[in-house]
A and B are shown apart, each in its own frame.
Chain A
Amino acid sequence: MTGLFYNLIEMIIKRRKVYKNLSISIGGLIFFTTLLLFVTILPHVSGFSTKVLYSRIFILAVYGMSYDILRGYTGFINLGHAIFFGSGAYIVGIFLTHFGNNLTVLALAILTVLIYSSLAALIMGKIVFKGGGVIAAAMVTMALGEIVRNVAERWREVTMGADGLPFRVPDMFRDRIMIYYYAFLFLIIMTLALRQFILSPTGRVLLAIRENEQRAIFLGFDTKKYKMIALQVAGLSAGLAGAMFALLNRFANTDLLTVQQTLNALLMTLVGGTGTLYGAIVGSAFISLTQDTLLDLRAVHPIFDRWLLFFGSIYVLVVLFMPSGFVGLYNSKMAKLQVRLVQRKK
């Protein structure tokens, strides 16, 4: 039985070598086809809450991946990442409320989100990459994030403060099935784009910075410039994810700007696996589904209503016992299996 299993694995690995350029294996192909079918059929057979739940998972996965670009590929812990996500949501909300509810305004809003995110990333980078290491960066970005949240809370005329900002969305985003597909499409496009970025020469330099920044400097790379590029990419994608999130929820509030929101992205990448990009998708699904299950259990005991308590506990446990996450775990298991196979040959 185990022998058969080993043969199967060996076959998959061999196939992977043949199709290296496509970097796809037969097993993977079957897996992804099934997944694609499931995702396509799902909205037609499920209820309202499931559709929203999965749309959330898709959009938050992009937010998680944007975080992974920073944390996983440059090692920079940004505790103000919610600035991009929350502001993206607010900008869409404010535009749709004040300038009319149509696609032209939405397009303008998206453009503004991109400009805003880019500028915010520029300012953040200028302050953070000035000096000090990971620690100083974490402290400074946390302070920046809190400031932006405070501004949103005080600036009541525009953001409606702590009450939150409800708004109407253009007709094409009103149907729950359609927004589900848009969210899925958004995830696919962003995954491909970010993957391309990681595989590009710039992405390789970022990996080098994460592994050993000093060495990257000695090799002649201007590491500050590369980190800045990573922050720009991460900020822009998080801003877009925030905009999509606003279109899904038709609501923006200051919760989207809290440290908690940043930690959400951090936990997604942690659970899924840091520096794996796809890990964020796994993490997003895991966290949203866990949260949903726990909320269903609140009839059993009111403690299940306290999501943050569970969130924090999962977080601490993952940091202590599973620092490489699901995808990281899978990768290392596969690598070990490969080593065992080679040894068997001998």
Chain B
Amino acid sequence: MDIFLMLLINGLAEGALIFLMASGLSIILGLMGVVNFSHGTLFLWGGYLFVWAYTNSNSFILGIASAVIGTFILGALLEVLFVRKTYGKVTAQILITLGLMIVFTDLVRLIWGATPLVVARPDFLAGAWRFGGAVIVHYRIFLIAVGITVAIGIQLLLTKTKIGMIIRAGVQRSDMVEALGINIKIYFTLVFTGGAALAGLGGALFAPLVGGISSGAGMSNQVLAFIVVVIGGMGSFIGSAIGSVFLGLMGALIAWYVPQLAIVANVTLMAIVLTFKPSGLFGLAVKK
């Protein structure tokens, strides 16, 4: 029983991290039809900015803030300078975000070096509870709380505000929204940078969990987010939330019982979902 509790907490915490990336990716994809291959790089920048600010200032809050603000600005730059030039051209979008991924990942190595940076959890989250054989790390509970807060926040934003209404309408038919006299381009920028900031937050929270960050972290987390987006259905916010939790829980269970299968399991899951429901579990059935 205590083992199950531990695995549940681990899985949910993992899911919360994946969710921070996948939700942004999914909404960007749904609204703009852009699959952002540089999303993992933004995650990486968040992680490095956090470690840099945190070790220099010794303030956890300041570290998180600089990661979120830094990736927000970076996201805005990428959108305005590059991604905007390729709207409506699917292939060019994929290619250009791939190129940006390479450049900005290598910039991280240029600035902070190729060796992984080490970072400790802040004191107030460093502890752990023990129940019999299970260890529950405080930091993971914090992650779950952040994940739930962000999820509720986005859900409220999407369903209760005018901005959210326009975004939801844009996911369905962006040309129709434009025909109503709304400048959808501004919302594109907004969603892209918002997604970037979420990815940055994910990176910032990821670094203390694993005790450091290396330049390969962006890619491995991006792949998890892609799998969630494919499973959950492209453009579906609920789908990405449920997909993240599911992937996190499955990852925790498999890592505990059959660690050899950990890598293959995700792809098997993806293949099964694609075989039986190609549009994803919560797919909108809109082909972009």
Contacts and interface: CB of A to CB of B under 8 A. Distances in A.
A135 B102 contact: no
A181 interface: no
Interface stretch (B54-62, B179-187, B201-209, B273-281): B273-281
Majority DSSP secondary structure for residues of B touching A = helix
Interface string A299-314: 0000000101101110
Contacts of B37: 138, 142
B100 A312 contact: yes
Interface size, B (range): 35 or more
Nearest to A139: B226
A154 B262 CA distance: 11
Nearest to A315: B99
A263 B267 contact: no
A140 B94 CA distance: 13
The binding surface of chain A is classed by DSSP as helix
Nearest to B229: A139
A270 to B, nearest CB: 7
Given A130-B274, A315-B99, A309 B94 contact: no
A306 B275 CA distance: 42
Nearest to A146: B223
A260 B102 contact: yes
A147 interface: yes
B138 interface: no
Nearest to A259: B219
B278 A130 contact: yes
B160 to A, nearest CB: 30
B1 interface: no
A263 B109 CA distance: 19
A260 B287 CA distance: 29
Contact of A316 (B100, B229, B263): B100
Interface in B102-123: 102-103, 105-107, 109-110
Contacts of A266: 95, 98
B94 A77 contact: yes
Interface string A126-140: 010011111110111
Contacts of A142: 37, 223, 226
Contact of B102 (A133, A136, A270, A315): A315
A270 B102 CA distance: 16
A166 interface: no
Interface in A210-262: 259-260
B98 A136 contact: no
A139 to B, nearest CB: 4
Interface in B182-235: 219-220, 223, 226-227, 229-230, 234
Given A135-B29, A144-B267, A147-B264, A263 B274 contact: no
24 contacts: A77-B94, A77-B95, A127-B271, A132-B234, A132-B274, A132-B287, A134-B94, A135-B90, A135-B288, A138-B35, A138-B94, A139-B229, A139-B230, A140-B274, A142-B223, A142-B226, A143-B270, A147-B266, A150-B263, A263-B98, A312-B102, A315-B99, A316-B82, A320-B96
A-B pairs with lowest CB-CB distance, top 6: A131-B278, A312-B103, A312-B102, A315-B99, A316-B99, A308-B106
